[in-house]
Structure 1
Amino acid sequence: MIEKVLIANRGEIALRILRACRELGVATVAIHSTADENAMHVRLADESVCIGPPPASESYLNIPAILAACEITGADAVHPGYGFLSENARFAEILAEHGITFIGPSPEHIRLMGDKIMAKKTAAELGIPVVPGSDGAVETVEEARRLAKDMGYPVLIKATAGGGGRGMKVARSEQELENAYLTARSEARAAFGNDEVYIEKYLDRPRHIEVQVFGDGQGHAVHLGERDCSLQRRHQKVWEEAPSPALNAEQRAEIGEIVAAAMRKLGYAGAGTVEFLYEDGRFYFIEMNTRLQVEHPVTEQITGLDLVQEQIRVASGAPLSYRQEDIRFSGHAIEVRINAEDPETFVPSPGRVDTVHTPGGLGVRVDSALYGGYVIPPYYDSLIGKLIVFGRNRTECLMRLRRCLGEYVISGVKTTIPLFERLLREPEIQDGLYDIHWLEEWLAANAEE
């Protein structure tokens, strides 16, 4: 069993990992930048090491400094959380070269799924339904034009090394194609140092459905149901729920088993999420995230399973502690992401937090590292907490969320709490009738009023 975990992250996810380690009796090491010296996970960890100044490139992405922290503390494993180095195959390889366990999938699987073109090819070979599109990188505008004509407009041009909506452009007609193609390549080059792009059919009103999977690399893999992450702004999720209001039990079981079978064939180890666009009863693979997701708590709520503890067990060499027939889905869960941002302009709002009062009661979970007097630094992502509510059904869940948002107090900085209070008044949200474009259209319409 792993004895000491270095947590290569910060904020609420670092605290989440620390808690899982504590319950397993595993010692913890917190790393931090100088900006995070007073962070909650630093205060609670068994040991802490400062690894650099505030910029992430000089601290949380500084692999030599993280290796030095492992050496100093004797940590025999690293949990990367999400973001930062969580999907960096070379980081996982370097840890292995130094005899340190990376709590996550193999470098080969990280690299395979990190390349969008190879991921799509692999998914198709494993029997996962994919979006019609190019077989590889599209080198010229002429090739893009031919492919678009064959599959029909609209089409989506995407960076092969992309993420977060960068290097992604829609062309709704041949007249728009050349500009979309050149812009996507330019954005990809600037953001990722790689201007390769590919092209695929663009779905007009899909939902974003993702399937949580878990494998042990020993021939066992399961699915833990799906999450609906369709409420997004600029391709960033803001609200996630499970199960999806759009699926029935048969659809859930069918896509879940397809994905679990694929992970068994792949020999995948650890937690992963296979993401789909879903439209007119059909699923289309878009990517796989080879890490823990921000929204993993909604899956934990409806299954009663601790995904982080299972990550640590599997990384220790243990087989999965449950089979598919052991997993039972119950109730409904919703997570909303609380960001330190203006709820109307979405401008970041770092600064000193004066007061924090979190909601409580039956079916309520708050994953956050905030406390009164804490200073939110301006250098990192604006996510400061996640409010997760659970109910016997979606209606109860929505009512509980409304109550909790009214109780949640964070003073001193602006937050997105008022945004969710407004969303809960919308009939489409109450009825679960939304797609990946709904939130941006709603925001645009309300901004015009």
Structure 2
Amino acid sequence: MSCCHYHPTGDEALDSTFTVDSSRITFGRGCLAELGDRARALGMTRVALFSDAAVSTLPVFETAERSLRAAGVDVVIYTDVHIEPTDQSFKDATAYAAEARPDGYVSVGGGSVMDTAKAANLYVSHPADFLAYVNPPVGEGIPVPVPLQPHIACPTTSGTGSEVTGIAIFDLLSLEAKTGIASPALRPTEALVDPDCTDSLPARVVACSGLDVLSHALESYTAKPFVRRSATPRPSLRPMSQGANPWSDLGSLEALRLLGQYLQRAVNDAEDREAREQTMWAATLAGIAFGNAGVHIPHAMAYAVAGQVREFRPDGYPQSEPLVPHGMSVILNAPSVFRITAATSPRRHLEAARQLGAETDGAADEDAGEVLADALMGIMQEVGMPNGLSAVGYGESDCEKLAEGAWPQQRLLQNAPVETDKPMLARVFADALRYW
């Protein structure tokens, strides 16, 4: 592991400190059975149990519900979560929760489920115009009030990290682009991370969620350093996307090491329980990392790719409507992005590639972008990802519109180590159309 020492610049307009936040985390096989006791310990007596139509039919959902009821908790169930949530699906979930009047929330599912529970908790606890809390420039960015009701997040995929972040992402239908709400107040109170939940996942879902983890770790590790971020008027207003910092570096590098060793195994062998467990642990580590550092350009681009999809339907996912899964939409942009950002911190990019298993001995600084891009493309091929954006339905003529869709993601773009504008984003989209 290469060491990077951070030093304040002396410029009073820049920050010189960083903040560490995380949910309480319980990790291990079988821990989902602890849910009822954990809920009662938080004072929950009437829980809104959120899930989606697919997960709600699985044994893991039955385990969660049974644990809650055995602990004497009244349970009301909402399973209409939309995969890749929209502003309308957030509103529908909020309306349900407002009528149910729970004193706590439990989410059992992937990032869509956890994010929907966060949004319902917020808008029921502190009603407001929908765009009031949404990130600018799309929304007003009003600070999220506290308190919210307690929320226990129980992820069933090894990818989003939503169980340990204060971020809720959705597709704003009127813009055909994703945006979100970000606040430490949205961070779940507790996370129960049970690798048993991933044993039955299809290979494509494991691949997409695992590559989302990989992107979380890479983007956090290569984000603008926290000492280059402008200081806030008050310390309590310091954003979650602080930039790369010593705490986030620890989780990012370990997550990359684990993924380099276990991701391909987890995708290609459903019986490899060690690989799936270690991939889920990497997801938790990377979630904590990017929850304190933030991600940048690949995620900003991904929201446009997912929001403007026309016909693509991946294997292993519900086929009712076109969909580019989140992890896929992120990783398809990543090699082209890191070719550009490598010049800002070549040693970091090379170290990231080394953790993923690339041979970096003798690599010069000017090689860093290609070394990391090659490592990413190799992993993409190993786990069956499409060959660039052209394979999910985009062409050269779409790049400007994709750039327009990514540009509202200023919370992410301003966390990048390089300056961005729309023409630059269009060029990076064009470079991501095909890789091999």
Give the TM-score band, short-chain normalised: 0.3 to 0.5
Pair member with larger Rg: 1
Please report the TM-score for the alignment, with normalisation by the length of structure 1: 0.32
More helix by share: 2
Please report the TM-score for the alignment, with normalisation by the length of structure 2: 0.33
Which one scores higher on RCO, CA 8 angstroms, separation ≥ 6? 2
